[in-house]
């Protein structure tokens, strides 16, 4: 038989607990409702508001700001000079692998006069040493990095940042074309780390044959006849070479990034396309021929989004022949309407226009910049 005192105690305890629970639930309802009502005022209601608050907080801390911006989604990096995007350290490594020399006075790569010890050691000319020496000479290594980049640059009388920047491109040339896939992998991997989705790299395909036949044919005022003559002399051979070279480069990039495999690198997700570069600072027959080659390449290979004229805009030839170059572009644009045209913007300032013709070109160019843009090009 149960103890009545024990039963009463248990019953009384249960009733007390039930009463406390009922009272808690009675007051909890309004409290919860009040919390839900107050939440929009104290917490961001959308991802945009949360991002804005995070950015506001990050501005107070440089490290936090860098972390915030690094992870921020970014659409595309347009007008990216591939050779300029490759780090100086990568150029030095590639040049050493290719057994190049370095001209100490110019701090520029140079071809070896001969290869010794079964091709493993370059025989360099006077005033030159093998690039590989830089790995044992920190002063030389630092000097090369500074010469190939804007690191630590301080402008001095007669040496501007503009001059140092453009001079660098001629210093690290001469490496083997087999490195192209490495360069694409490098910039794509860096883009992925910065949460970019698209890269439009400016690249100059091999065009030595095009230059040779342009010199043989010479200049002609009749654009149509000049185009026909260049094509008849085999200009499309360089177009085929450009496509083959890009096939090999992209295959190497995919291999390095393990694309299509379980351990694929993040860089595989970055879409890469190209702009075919035309070097505007050379004789007009060469510029015409290379422009034709780039239009042909972009027409034949969908990986090329379009063409772009490069080299300093304030150079004598670039300014003197600017109107002629624009007529060339207009001529080819009519023949290849699906090829996009991307032109530099912002570097040619009125202060650089030294003649009446170049000043007129500046005014004309300022009016036509928007019309020169393509859906894939940055202006």
At 14-60, the pLDDT tens digits run 444 444 434 443 444 444 444 444 445 556 568 888 888 888 888 98
pLDDT tens sequence across 232-280: 999 999 999 999 999 999 999 999 999 999 999 999 999 999 999 999 9
**What local confidence, expressed as pLDDT, does residue 24 receive?**
40
pLDDT at 332 over 60: yes
Confidence of residue 71 (pLDDT cuts 50, 70, 90): confident
pLDDT tens sequence across 14-27: 444 444 434 443 44
**What local confidence, expressed as pLDDT, does residue 366 receive?**
38
pLDDT at 364 over 80: no
pLDDT at 87 over 60: yes
**What local confidence, expressed as pLDDT, does residue 310 receive?**
92
pLDDT at 3 over 50: no
- Percent with pLDDT over 70 in the chain: 79
**What local confidence, expressed as pLDDT, does residue 343 receive?**
79
Mean pLDDT of the chain: 84
**What local confidence, expressed as pLDDT, does residue 16 receive?**
47
Cα–Cα distances in angstroms (integers) from residue 211 to residues 54, 183, 293, in the given order: 54, 25, 10
Confidence of residue 120 (pLDDT cuts 50, 70, 90): confident
Cβ neighbors of 222 (< 8 A, separation 6 or more) are: none
**What local confidence, expressed as pLDDT, does residue 43 receive?**
62
Instruction: Return the higher-pLDDT residue of 354 and 328.
Output: 328
Rounded to an integer, the average pLDDT of 158-179 is 92
Confidence of residue 349 (pLDDT cuts 50, 70, 90): low
pLDDT at 304 over 50: yes
Rounded to an integer, the average pLDDT of 74-89 is 92
**What local confidence, expressed as pLDDT, does residue 352 receive?**
55
Handedness of CA 312, 315, 321, 323 (dihedral sign): positive
**What local confidence, expressed as pLDDT, does residue 369 receive?**
37
pLDDT tens sequence across 184-238: 999 999 999 999 999 999 999 999 999 999 999 999 999 999 999 999 999 999 9
Q: What is the pTM of this model?
A: 0.78
């Amino acid at each position: 038989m149960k103890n009545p005192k024990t039963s009463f105690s248990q019953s009384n305890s249960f009733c007390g607990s039930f009463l406390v629970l009922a009272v808690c639930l009675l007051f909890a309802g309004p409290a919860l409702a009040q919390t839900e009502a107050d939440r929009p005022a104290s917490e961001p209601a959308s991802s945009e508001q949360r991002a804005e608050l995070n950015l506001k907080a990050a501005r107070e801390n440089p490290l936090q700001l860098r972390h915030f911006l690094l992870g921020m989604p970014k659409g595309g990096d347009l007008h990216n000079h591939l050779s300029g995007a490759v780090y100086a350290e990568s150029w030095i490594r590639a040049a050493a692998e290719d057994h190049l020399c370095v001209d100490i006075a110019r701090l520029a790569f140079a071809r070896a006069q001969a290869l010794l010890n079964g091709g493993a050691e370059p025989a360099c000319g006077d005033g030159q040493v093998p690039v590989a020496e830089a790995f044992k000479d920190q002063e030389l290594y630092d000097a090369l990095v500074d010469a190939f980049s804007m690191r630590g640059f301080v402008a001095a009388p007669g040496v501007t940042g503009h001059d140092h920047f453009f001079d660098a491109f001629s210093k690290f040339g001469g490496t083997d074309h087999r490195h192209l896939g490495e360069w694409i992998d490098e910039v794509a991997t860096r883009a992925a780390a910065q949460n970019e989705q698209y890269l439009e790299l400016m690249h100059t395909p091999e065009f030595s044959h095009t230059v040779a036949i342009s010199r043989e044919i010479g200049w002609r005022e009749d654009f149509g006849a000049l185009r026909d003559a260049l094509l008849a002399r085999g200009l499309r051979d360089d177009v085929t070479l450009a496509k083959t070279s890009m096939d090999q480069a992209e295959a190497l990039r995919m291999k390095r990034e393990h694309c299509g495999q379980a351990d694929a690198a993040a860089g595989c997700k970055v879409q890469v396309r190209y702009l075919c570069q035309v070097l505007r600072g050379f004789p007009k027959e060469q510029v015409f021929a290379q422009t034709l080659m780039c239009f042909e390449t972009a027409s034949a290979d969908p990986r090329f989004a379009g063409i772009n004229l490069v080299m300093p805009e304030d150079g004598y030839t670039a300014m003197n022949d600017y109107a002629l170059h624009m007529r060339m572009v207009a001529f080819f644009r009519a023949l290849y309407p699906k090829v996009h045209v991307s032109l530099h913007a912002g570097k040619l300032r009125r202060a650089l226009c030294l003649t009446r013709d170049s000043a007129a070109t500046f005014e004309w160019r300022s009016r036509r910049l928007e019309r020169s843009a393509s859906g894939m090009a940055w202006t």
